Amino acid sequence: MKYITPINKTRRNNIQRLKREIILKGKLNGFEETLEKLLQTIFDAGCDISCCDICENSSIEQSIDDFLKPHIRIGFKTARENSIHIIWDILHEFGHHLSGKADGEEKTLERERVAWDLGLKQLFCFPELTGYVDNYKNYRDKCLKTYNLHDKTESKT
């Protein structure tokens, strides 16, 4: 008789493996419990997440026809200025998931602002992160400035 691993055990193992990978690659010791809860929240919301060693930035893939599950990829090719920025990137990409798929009518900068705002709202679900709100906001503002520059570059071409 073939033994089938229960889905919840498999999922728990996947979360543990992913948590260890993010902790190791991101030097996030001390955030193990928080990261585990965050990953659980993301999976519960119907979104996948993984690490990407060849990605400069983090991103989310969302299929137009819902054929594939949304998938957050955490970029680890470039080191962050502060290791907690990895958690901010995860919250931001999760914010994109929570805001839904782009409809083609939205402005890039506005969509990014909404994702950062939803990420901040999620941050408050983790009391252990609330002491870092100013750090989140500073990182958000820094990132939003880069999008703004990118938007201006695109409009010139």
Q: Which residues contact 8 (CB under 8 A, 6 or more apart)?
A: none
How do the domains of the chain map onto residue ranges?
A: 7-156
Helix (H) or strand (E) holding 61: strand 59-61
CA 35 to chain centre: 11
Indicate whether 103 pLDDT > 60: yes
What is the rounded CA–CA span in Å between residue 66 and residue 118? 21
Q: In this predicted model, what pLDDT tens digit does every residue of 117-144 receive, in sequence order?
A: 999 999 999 999 999 999 999 999 999 9
Residue 7 has what pLDDT? Answer: 54
Nearest-angstrom CA–CA distance, 93 and 74: 9
Percent of the chain at pLDDT above 70? 87
Under 8 Å CB-to-CB from 78, ≥6 apart: which residues? 56, 57
The answer for residues whose C-beta is within 8 angstroms of residue 48's C-beta and 6 or more apart is: 69, 70, 71, 72
**Residue 154 confidence (pLDDT):** 41
pLDDT tens profile 7-44 = 577 878 899 999 999 999 999 999 999 999 999 999 99
- Model confidence at 80: pLDDT above 80: yes
What is the mean predicted confidence (pLDDT) over 84-106? 90
